[in-house]
Amino acid sequence: MVQQKSEIYLSSKSLPILYDVDAVIIGGTFAGVTAARRFAEAGKKVALVESRTYLGTDMCATLRPWVQTRDIGNLSKWTKGLFEKAADSAGETGLYLDQVKRHLEDLLVEENVSVLYASQPIDLIQTYGKRQLIIGNKSGRQIIQADVVIGAESSGLLREFMEGGEESDTGPAVYRKTIEMYRAEGSTAVEISVPKSLGIHNNTVHLHRGYLNDSHVFLEFELVFPYDRTSLAIDNAMEKEIASRHIAMDLASYLIQSHPAFKRAYLAGSSYELHSLSVAKRKCESWRSGGQKFLENRVLGVPLNDFVTYDLDIWYLNEFSAPGLFESPVAACKTGEAFASELVAVWDELLTPCTPSVEPNREPFSYDIHIGEGGSPREGREYPTCEVPGKAVPVLQETDVLVVGGGTSGANAAITAAKEGVETVLLDMNPGLGGTATYGAVDSYWFGRKGGFNVRISEWLQEVHDRINHKSTKWNIEAKMYTLLNEAEKAGVKTYLYATTIGTIMDGTQVKGVVVATKWGVFAIKAKVVIDATGDGDIAAFAGAEHVYGSETDQIVMWYSLAQFAKPGKSQNNFTSMVKVSDIEDYTRAIMEGRRRKRNRDCHDHGIYVASRETRHIFGEVVLTLTDQLKHRQWEDVVNIHFSNHDMKGKSGSSWMNIGLIPPNLEIEVPYRALLPKNLTGILVVGKAISATHDGFAAIRMQADLENLGGVAALAAVQAVRNDCLPHEIDRKHLQSRLVVEDVLPEGVTDRSIEEKTYTDEELERLVGELNGEMPLYSYADMEMDDVYKERIPFVEVCTAGPRVLPYLQRALNQAVEKGEINRQVLLAKALAMYGSKDAVPVLIKEIEKELSGGVLPKRSSFIRHTQLPPDQGAMPDVVYLMYALALTKDERSIAVWRKVAEWVEPSEGNLKDMYKGTFYYIDALCDGAERLARPECIPVLESLHRHETIRNQMRTRALEPDYFKERQAMLELAIGRALAVCGSSQGLHILIDYLSDYRSLLADQAHTYLRRLTGEDFGKHVPEWKSYVEVNHQYDISNTRGGLLWKRRLST
């Protein structure tokens, strides 16, 4: 691949200022954290930005969780917490990494330091009196504005923003890498000799004991790499990282196969980054702007002057300034605290006016090319802004196919494209490949169709498993990560890790590449075809694609996870709550709260990746729905077949689920058009961001299917490259034929005839006759994992046949009433309710009253597979299904039912969590009915619900909430608020207005969405304006048109 010496132009732009602070610290190192804490204690307003997703990076990123026991003496009150569960062995103290990360976060949270994760500093500019640190992340670009900037990151990124910052390396460099192993038995040595063929420096591995027990060990080894002057720093770094991972896997394999102490050992992990033993040096003393100013101020004996740059408002706090003070975490903590204390003492001397940056007098290289970027991180919030100058961005690569995101779909997409012989570049924000399957720690296939590309991936993985003697049915996370990287390298993929996309290169409506932020600078990658495999649709969204988060109605998404490891390398399920990944503050919140969640025992560690089951859905040329799936819809341009149960891990928004139809295991066709974003060209979207509704997505998100989907997109991209056309212009029949060869599609798919079924009157009558009520609708889901349901579902066919079927349903219901066929009456009434027919009401109310005749709310007695805490899988008491059906009729006779339920419901935390009592569903069904009915008579019922402490005042603004269920309680309060507002209560509006300030972004978005719908106004998330509006406009005409403007403003006189 030829290196292109070209540039693109990132135009000047007004960027949102996230924080305006006294000091911003770049890097979550031990010194950076303790300095931030000390500044905050001294009354300074502080922000800390970290490109990773954890603190203590100088230990955690390089996986070196030990200190010399002799260094621990005289710990400060801040550092004592680092040593909880620490264990001494042979002069070393092994640390409990999860505690280290949490404790460092606590130090900052306690003093209200603003922490921002997964954000890469990309530039530093200046205006009069202030510095603007520009950062890039999944929200795009933002600014942190500060009086003083401190570079505490171990990579020395701040030096990239300074002119003439360091001397270049000229000779071989020594690096250390670590692997973690569990169940190593019998080894007492601190050094292990290994064969020269492994390529390890001095043929020696150093063994460090972990905090757990003697069988928990870290194996550290050194590697020597030559300096390559002909390559860019980022290319050099990637080559070293990839080479080190081959050696790490070779070492693990050797020890397990050949060393008796490691015969039963489990490969638990490896360092995310290499630990460099080289320290860059300043070019000359002219860097020191302090002159003779700070010679009396010393940081543990080192002149404060050694930490300053050419400006008094920019400082270094790392090995670059004083190497001897950062040799261990304990020393670094003391250094950070001492440094901050000294800087506070001279603070007023630092605040000198800055020379403002001047935008270069140059025009963009092309008026057609522009960079699509994200907007404000939190939709609707007003941020102060600052105009930043334009910037030339070097083009790192020009390639045929660019895959952004190396996770479930993306890794296979890149491998497949490269194996086809086209130049392929792969970008990923993580330290390795695999995404949810590796850093997300979802270490096995759930459902999913086994065939095609995923079979090959499993075969490659098995070869690695054999090398490390892995026998479990779940994959070894480290092995899968290595497998994907190894196969990508063999295929010829050019892989860049630690690369966060911050913009999309556009030529009109055509996507031409991306702009990425890395530790080595900001770069552009241009491509003929781009595959958005970010899982969140980042590239398409930056390009302006239409999209929705989760449910279009209320922005509810399925749960996310920050992986929990009960033991080294052994994960446990931890999908619990929601996150909006494009809001970097919400992303950070989710990480910090996720790290505080665990089961009844402590976690060995948490993961580093926010694995979301659902985020954005990019609207394609078609949108997949649950109804499509229930009707076994076939598509002329089918390119993949997914297989699953309806795995709704979260709150369903579908009437099918709410009235009790839990779908069976289905094979689901995905058409090519679902991969093509509307109104964009040059791009394919795969992975979780595929074009689907919230409920249409639950069954098509299985890892095996998404791996195949990545391969599908790759073959489509390759065809576009070879034929010099865009992805939407390819020969889709040719693609399908190739997919048949690859065992992704079945034989005959290209020749079949697809006709939409239209029922005759006689057929409709027969279909209605099949609704006998002999089995509950949820029994369709009672299937073994390998079983596939291929028959039609009469209830679905009836409910989608259109109004022509209503006379047959009404006649059948009358007959069932005459014959006393209760079960059939109920099923027919549900079908009528799906059409909003009030003919269903008498039967539904009668059956509900019968269920409630015992004086208590009935529990769920049915068996529903794979159910967890509510809301989950639509598993609720039978009577609640009837309540949701009744809600569809919008009938005032329902109010008596809602009133009785409200009187009886007892929403204690225990009851809300109870999988059988269904308290959560009772409340939600009542609110759904009241919201649809939209009558003032519902207000007292809703107000009585809101008086319960467990569903009142659930809004949160700042403090971290370890209890994930509080979010679900807040979901219920929002449901009450929405219903109250729709029914004409200003209290409901005030509940929604309060939630505009909720720090859980998607809950705030839901409140904002409903306020806009209800009033026809939009004041963003500006609470005072909304409150003022309600005070002035306190009377409304109610228009019962759910989905439109429910309230029409009537100005009071």
What's the whole-number mean pLDDT along residues 670-692? 99
Q: At what angle do helices 453-467 and 703-722 cross, to 10 degrees?
A: 120
Half-sphere exposure of 268 toward its Cβ, with a 13 Å CA cutoff?
27
Same domain, 155 and 177: no
Q: For 972-982, what is the mean pLDDT?
A: 98
The CA distance from 946 to 941, in Å, is 9
**Beta carbons of 684 and 389 less than 8 angstroms apart:** no
> Over pLDDT 90: what percentage of the chain?
85
**How far is it, in rounded angstroms, from Cα 764 to Cα 813?**
15
**Number of folded domains in the chain?**
4
Same domain, 337 and 242: no
Within-domain flag for 69: yes
pLDDT, position 443: 95
247 and 315 assigned to the same domain: no
When pLDDT is averaged across residues 212-238 and rounded to a whole number, the result is: 91
Q: What does the angle CA 240 – CA 246 – CA 252 come to, to the nearest 5 degrees?
A: 130
pLDDT (0 to 100) of residue 77: 82
- What is the per-residue pLDDT across 801-846, written as a single tens digit (0 to 9) for each? 999 999 999 999 999 999 999 999 999 999 999 999 999 999 999 9
Same domain, 161 and 182: no
In terms of phi and psi (left: phi > 0; alpha: psi -120 to 50; beta: otherwise), the region of 141 is beta
* Neighbouring C-alpha atoms within 13 Å toward the C-beta of 142: 26
**Phi, psi of 841, deg, nearest 5:** -60, -50
DSSP string over 443-487: -S--S----THHHHHHHHHHHHHHHTT---SSPPHHHHHHHHHHH
Taking the C-alpha atoms of residue 792 and residue 813, their distance in angstroms, rounded to an integer, is: 22
- Calculate mean pLDDT across residues 135-156: 93
What pLDDT does 228 receive?
A: 78
b/e per residue 177-187 (b: at least 16 CB within 10 A) = bbbbbbbbeeb
Does residue 638 lie within any of the structural domains? yes
Do residues 248 and 334 both lie within one domain? no
Mean pLDDT along residues 273-293: 63
Q: Are 113 and 43 in contact (CB under 8 A)?
A: no
CA distance linking residue 97 with residue 329, whole number of Å: 12
Model pLDDT for residues 514-568, shown as the tens digit of each residue = 999 999 999 999 999 999 999 999 999 999 999 999 999 999 999 999 999 999 9
- pLDDT, mean over the chain: 93
Alpha helices in 655-752 (DSSP H): 655-658, 694-697, 703-722, 732-741
- CATH assignment of the domain containing 316: 3.50.50.60
**Same-domain status, 129 and 183:** no
Single residue among 756, 788, 814 that ends a domain in this structure = 756
**71: its two tokens:** 């260094």
Question: Rounded CA gap, 921 and 908, in Å?
Answer: 13
* pLDDT(361) > 60: no
Over residues 476-514, the pLDDT tens digits come to 999 999 999 999 999 999 999 999 999 999 999 999 999
Range of lowest pLDDT (122-136, 194-208, 756-770)? 122-136
Give the domain extent around 253: 173-276
How many Cα atoms within 13 Å fall on the side-chain side of residue 687?
34
Last-in-domain residue among 718, 737, 756: 756
Residues shown for the chain:
1053
Read off the amino acid at residue 285. E
pLDDT higher than 70, residue 367: no
H-type helices in 854-964, by residue range? 878-888, 894-904, 909-913, 919-933, 939-946
830 is a domain residue: no
Looking at the fold, whether 937 and 1001 belong to one and the same domain comes out as yes
- Judged against a pLDDT cut of 80, whether residue 291 lies above it is answered with no
- Mean pLDDT, residues 1012-1032 taken together: 95
Is residue 478 packed enough to be buried (19+ CB in 10 Å), middle (13-18) or exposed (0-12)? buried
Any idea what DSSP says for residue 231?
S
Q: Return the structure tokens found at 25.
A: 């610290």
Determine how many CB atoms are found less than 10 A away from the CB of residue 848: 22
Banded model confidence at residue 281, pLDDT cuts 50, 70, 90? low
Do residues 889 and 1037 both lie within one domain? Answer: yes
- 259 and 289: one domain? no
Residue 457, CA distances (Å) to 165, 408, 416, 450, 487 in order = 45, 11, 11, 11, 9
pLDDT score for 877? 98
pLDDT one-digit tens code per residue, 618-663: 999 999 999 999 999 999 999 999 999 999 999 999 999 999 999 9
pLDDT at 1044: 38
Instruction: Tell me how far apart the alpha carbons of residues 656 and 660 are, in angstroms, rounded to a whole number.
Output: 7
What letter does residue 693 receive in the DSSP assignment? Answer: -
Per-residue pLDDT, 1052: 29
pLDDT at 293: 74
Phi, psi of 377, rounded to the nearest 5 degrees: -55, -45
Above 90 in pLDDT, residue 958? no
List the beta bridge partners of residue 507: 369, 510
Residue 1016: HSE in the Cβ half-sphere, 13 Å Cα cutoff: 12
Per DSSP, the residues of 777-792 read GGGGG---TT----S-
Domain for residue 127, yes or no? yes
Output Rg (C-alpha) for the chain, integer angstroms. Answer: 30
pLDDT digits (tens, 9 = 90+) for 86-118: 999 888 999 999 999 999 999 999 999 999 999
pTM of the model: 0.96
861 within some domain:
no
Amino acid at site 77: K
Quick check: is 853 in a domain? no
Strand (E) or helix (H) holding 558: none
Q: Which of 197-206, 595-604, 1009-1018 has the lowest mean pLDDT?
A: 595-604
- Residue 246 confidence (pLDDT): 99
Kindly state whether residues 14 and 92 are assigned to the same domain.
Answer: yes
Q: Same domain, yes or no, for 534 and 648?
A: yes
Contact 500, 518 (CB under 8 A): yes
Question: Are residues 57 and 196 located together in one domain of the fold?
Answer: no
Last residue of a domain, one of 350, 379, 406: 350
The answer to whether the bond into 907 is cis (omega within 30° of 0) is no
Helix (H, G, I), strand (E, B) or coil at 805: helix
Q: 820: phi > 0 → left, psi -120 to 50 → alpha, else beta; which?
A: left
Tell me what the mean pLDDT of segment 731-739 comes to: 98
